[in-house]
């Protein structure tokens, strides 16, 4: 069963607590501390999932929070949690790091995720199929890869995928389905192994 990220999805009480922290952080950057404490780990994991070097991931995460704290006065609550705003900053900082060659676009995959894809593709988990999957993943375009990562690697609900990519939930669903279809097509394409 798909799990719901408890840090991302808030109860009304948690949301109002977060709003209090945001208002307070707008007064003084020191008051951003509880938000930093709450989100630092998940933003780091999001960044490190997409790059190869750990130290660079720490640096990019730090830059994400620097930008967030600097621009918190502009933040307005529009029905999406602060986390989605932080993820959008992280996405843009990651792209900047790739452009500056400070980081290499990386796909991190483990055996559980490989097994999930094999189940979806109705294939056997073996060395040959693993190689075919890696080859297919590396051929996806940027957006399709992001959709696959958010949904299948990180197990996020479509609502959250949509908020991170700034698209509607339904659109996220359709686009993810299409990305999966493309991946399947690439997986089934004859490759020279």
Buried b (16+ CB within 10 A) or exposed e, 97-107: bbeeeebeeeb
Q: How far is the CB of 54 from another protein (least distance, A)?
A: 7
Q: Which stretch binds another protein (CB under 8 A): 16-24, 59-67, 158-166, 167-175?
A: 59-67
**DSSP assigned state of 153:** I
Tokens 């830059």 locate to 63
The span from the CA of 130 to the CA of 184, in Å, is 13
Q: Is 48 in the site for another protein (CB under 8 A)?
A: yes
Tokens of 143: 């957006």
Among positions 33, 115, 143, 191, the unique one binding another protein when judged by CB under 8 A: 33
Q: In whole angstroms, what is the distance from residue 82 CA to residue 30 CA?
A: 17
Q: Is 189 in the site for another protein (CB under 8 A)?
A: no
Which 138-157 residues touch another protein, going by CB under 8 A? 138-139, 145
Residue with tokens 């693993």: 130
Nearest to 84 by CA among 156, 153, 12, 30: 156
**Smallest separation (angstroms) from another protein to the CB of 4:** 20
Piece of the chain touching another protein by CB under 8 A; list 1-9, 83-91, 109-117, 155-163: 109-117
Binding site for another protein (CB under 8 A): 27-30, 32-33, 36-37, 40-41, 44-45, 48, 52, 54, 58, 62, 65-66, 69-70, 104-111, 134, 137-139, 145
């Amino acid at each position: 069963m798909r799990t719901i990220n408890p840090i991302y999805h808030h109860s009304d009480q948690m949301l109002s607590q977060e709003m209090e922290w945001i208002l307070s952080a707008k007064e003084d950057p020191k008051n951003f501390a509880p938000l930093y404490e709450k989100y630092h780990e998940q933003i780091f994991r999001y960044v490190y999932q997409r790059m190869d070097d750990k130290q660079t991931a720490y640096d990019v995460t730090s830059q994400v929070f620097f930008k967030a704290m600097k621009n918190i006065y502009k933040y307005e609550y529009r029905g999406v949690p602060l986390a989605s705003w932080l993820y959008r900053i992280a996405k843009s900082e990651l792209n900047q790091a790739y452009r500056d060659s400070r980081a290499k676009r990386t796909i991190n995959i483990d055996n559980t995720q490989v097994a999930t894809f094999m189940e979806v593709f109705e294939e056997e988990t073996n060395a040959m199929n693993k190689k075919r999957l890696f080859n297919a993943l590396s051929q996806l375009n940027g957006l399709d890869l992001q959709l696959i990562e958010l949904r299948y690697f990180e197990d996020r609900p479509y609502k959250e995928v949509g908020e991170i990519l700034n698209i509607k939930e339904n659109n996220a669903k359709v686009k993810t389905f299409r990305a999966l279809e493309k991946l399947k097509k690439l997986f089934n394409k004859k490759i020279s192994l």
